[in-house]
Structure 1
């Protein structure tokens, strides 16, 4: 098994200081220089963005004189507005690229999309310039993970239009790697057979898919996954890759380093190091995207950007050409770290996604995110498998206590131990999250697996 490598900070920004306060101040200067151009660029979009400016009381780009002025602007985009913009452009112009499209439709040469599980998919639109910068940002992430040009990489994310699908395949090819694009749709047996055949050094997959490969390799191939020679596992798409128990499981079964990443959307790019202890994801795209413009989730007022800050992220791409993310309320709740990473030595901004504004649970005055519950349950591996479901009888945020939590037992945990295990999980959640759930332990394998994003919350209305 490879050991965690120390990173000399790639100096994409030309910032020499390693003082956190000075570093953030210089980042602000870089952001503001690019934002002044981007503000004028999106102002030219009369169908959407100019209207949002006017609603915010801005009559000219010159009204926004400082970065603080910009940060005080309300959100211009979110999931609902994005879909509404697409519907309106389809009706008005015959395309679903959105009223917020800021280039000619013929310049939109690449599309990616969300899964659309809650309704109409939302599209990410790329011009040639946008794609080139996307490949550059993803290339930084591949380099950070230790992927080399010429490496065979195996792609077990969902393909089709998903952002981590075709867009990632093209980025890997632009980087000089050799992706084997079977995709999650191929199913676990086919994925394992093709890994055995192509012998990739790198695996791209969700944590759910990684767990499935560990569980099923012995029966499908007659050998453990550790015999397949994978050295790097690059995870994205769902929470879980930062959990200590998951990272330890990957090291034990694959003998590989694991990286937790998000990236590709409007030049966003974050990736963890492979440290035994999780220290958040390193932000590698400060020159192209203001991803962690934090606001208070309740008041929507700006929060000081500093080490330890927690807030809802507003996302603005600094050079994006086609339908840019501009004052986009992502719904992600982030915790920031600024300085040198204890795990790998890289200096810069790190972030943890600790939840989503739209999946926060309110339990008798206690606010908690599903990812936090998942983190606590993960502490009990291998007694539990890591699979769980939060079962509600009405959509969040308000939860009528007690919260019902279904947790799957580990494969070697005897049923006689389940009652005590449930009580231990309940008590641990009470200690760390200040509410007590009712935990039901289920047999190993009873919760559905998916190579796509796993939904932690299940809403099952009470019978009438």
Structure 2
């Protein structure tokens, strides 16, 4: 595969710096049109431009000028924009809605764990392009038109719900849209009955299916014939221990992926080792516009760069992302993938800007702790919680970890197992936690996103 994967076949260089420079030319050509389009939105975007000192679209003369603009939106201001539009216009799609309301034909949203969801609005054109970009993701994973796929993500308004089911249908696949809401026993029975080739689910759901298949359907998941497992929605699918577990139990390849919002799609390849997620939509979306998490200054987009990602749709009609501070801390790789040979940009989600932990001056992301802990499978089940006395980032040491033992790890082995985990975290992350091993089944399972952090309730 090569740059033509991104529908930018004219970019033929295999030099990383030249490649990013060529992408920059394409981005700037698209952005000039998008900026003029957004300038017409007087309720939100024009106000943000003016607050940044921009009096006319012509004041932004280059991609560098664009990258020096501050963030225009984050989750909090997104929700506020929705509340304001509800009060002013009697719709919740935000003051940043840039298409006529009667042209919005599709709606998706976040899970709304804070009480109010954030919505993604699509015109028909937006939806058509999203189906095309997600089709690239399905093709990269090896899903073929005509394949039966099984959808075990939640089927509410989440992007990975109805939006993905419709994209699979548009691609020519045959999704069995049962959804996580059906529960593990029913999901297993329906998989056994419908014989899908591909499974879409969170890593938490995949682990539950592995654990419960023998008791629920009398056979292991490997007997179900699934060849492709596509995971999103939470960290874990890129971890070696999880990937090995899926291969062993399902006999399937596992892909870590993201996408659906504002023409964005990325997915890991099927190589044995994890090399990040291949970015498939450079022609339609600027997802890895990296800035320093502290200073917010733009970073050079070179191999190995790490920063907070700003998200901008290059060509979008309804309520587009434009310098949207995602909160994702991202590491990029630019060049040829060691696993599959594809040339381009790959991304790894290192953590979240808002969930970083500060332990005696050491900055650490929960996903990094999870990655180290999961090295100890199969002695542990893979379920763990980071238990804090108050909200992050500051943590009064020692950091407390509750880690669940595997079913066949006897209690006599727990103290030594805890000591080895503590030592390994000390070696790799430069702090020593306090590890408690719990009996198998102690930590609650969910088919949705698992929250690694638990904050103690005040007495």
The answer to whether the aligner puts 1:50 opposite 2:46 as a matched pair is yes
Per the alignment, residue 3 of structure 1 pairs with none
Per the alignment, residue 331 of structure 1 pairs with 327
Match runs of 1:10-89 below 5 Å: 10-11=4-5, 12-14=7-9, 15-89=11-85
| C-alpha contact 2:2 2:344 (8 A) present in aligned 1 | no
SS at match of 1:266: coil
Q: Which sections of structure 1, spanning at least 5 residues, go unmatched?
A: 1-6
Per the alignment, residue 295 of structure 1 pairs with 291
Measured in 2, the distance between the counterparts of 1:299 and 1:119 equals: 30
| C-alpha contact 1:200 1:229 (8 A) present in aligned 2 | yes
Count of residues in correspondence between the two structures: 457
Aligned counterpart for 1:136 among listed residues 129, 132, 139? 132
**Which digits, 9 at most, give the CA deviation of each residue in 1:115-136, with x for residues without a partner?**
1111210000000111011101
| C-alpha contact 2:3 2:12 (8 A) present in aligned 1 | no
**Divergent runs of 4+, >6 A:** none
Measured in 1, the distance between the counterparts of 2:293 and 2:3 equals: 32
The answer to whether the aligner puts 1:364 opposite 2:363 as a matched pair is no
| C-alpha contact 1:392 1:461 (8 A) present in aligned 2 | no
Per the alignment, residue 205 of structure 2 pairs with 209
Give the superposition deviation at 1:461.
3.6
Q: CA RMSD in A?
A: 0.8
Give the superposition deviation at 1:143.
0.1
| C-alpha contact 2:44 2:96 (8 A) present in aligned 1 | yes
SS at match of 1:325: coil
Measured in 1, the distance between the counterparts of 2:183 and 2:245 equals: 22
Aligned counterpart for 1:390 among listed residues 386, 400, 415? 386
Aligned counterpart for 1:414 among listed residues 405, 410, 413? 410
My pick for the range that moved more, 170-179 or 272-281, is 272-281
Per the alignment, residue 260 of structure 2 pairs with 264
The answer to whether the aligner puts 1:253 opposite 2:249 as a matched pair is yes
Aligned counterpart for 2:113 among listed residues 87, 107, 117? 117
Give the superposition deviation at 1:10.
4.2
Give the superposition deviation at 1:9.
5.5
The answer to whether the aligner puts 1:423 opposite 2:419 as a matched pair is yes
Give the superposition deviation at 1:445.
1.2
Measured in 2, the distance between the counterparts of 1:49 and 1:270 equals: 27
**Which digits, 9 at most, give the CA deviation of each residue in 1:11-60, with x for residues without a partner?**
42111111111111100001000000001111110000000000000000
Give the superposition deviation at 1:462.
4.8
Measured in 2, the distance between the counterparts of 1:241 and 1:410 equals: 19
Measured in 1, the distance between the counterparts of 2:416 and 2:4 equals: 49
The answer to whether the aligner puts 1:403 opposite 2:399 as a matched pair is yes
TM-score normalized with structure 1 length: 0.98
TM-score normalized with structure 2 length: 0.99
Measured in 1, the distance between the counterparts of 2:39 and 2:412 equals: 65
**Which digits, 9 at most, give the CA deviation of each residue in 1:373-416, with x for residues without a partner?**
00000110001111110011111111111111111111211111
Per the alignment, residue 188 of structure 2 pairs with 192
SS at match of 1:291: strand
